[in-house]
Amino acid sequence: MNTLEEPRKRGLGRGLSALLGEPVAAILKDEPEGSVPVRTLPVEKLRPGRYQPRRKFDQAAIEDLAASLREKGVLQPLLVRAVDEDMFEIIAGERRWRAAQAAMLHEVPVIVRTLDDREALELALIENLQREDLSPLEEADGFRRLMDEFSHTQEELAKVLGKSRSHVANMMRLLGLPDPVKALLESGHLSAGHARALVTAADPVALARQVVEKGLNVRQTEKLAQEQGGAERKERKGAGGSTPGAEKDTDLIALERSLSNLIGLQVTITAQSKGGDLTIHYGTLEQLDDIIARLSKN
Point out the residues that are catalytic: 94
Q: Which residues in 47-74 are b (16+ Cβ under 10 Å) and which e? A: eebebbbbeeeeeeebeebbeebeeeeb
Residue ranges with strand state E in the chain: 39-42, 46-47, 78-82, 88-92, 107-112, 266-271, 276-281
Please, are residues 215 and 188 in contact by the beta-carbon 8 Å criterion? no
Q: Which of 149, 30, 50 is nearest to 90 (CA)?
A: 50
> Which amino acid is located at 177 in the chain?
L
Q: Which residues contact 74 (CB under 8 A, 6 or more apart)?
A: 96, 100, 105, 108, 109
Q: Which of 70, 126, 74 is nearest to 96 (CA)?
A: 74
Biggest CA–CA distance in the chain, Å, is: 72
SS3 category, 203: coil
In DSSP terms, 270 is beta-bridged to 277
Which strands, in side-by-side order, build the sheet including 107-112? 39-42, 107-112, 78-82, 88-92, 46-47
SS3 category, 34: coil
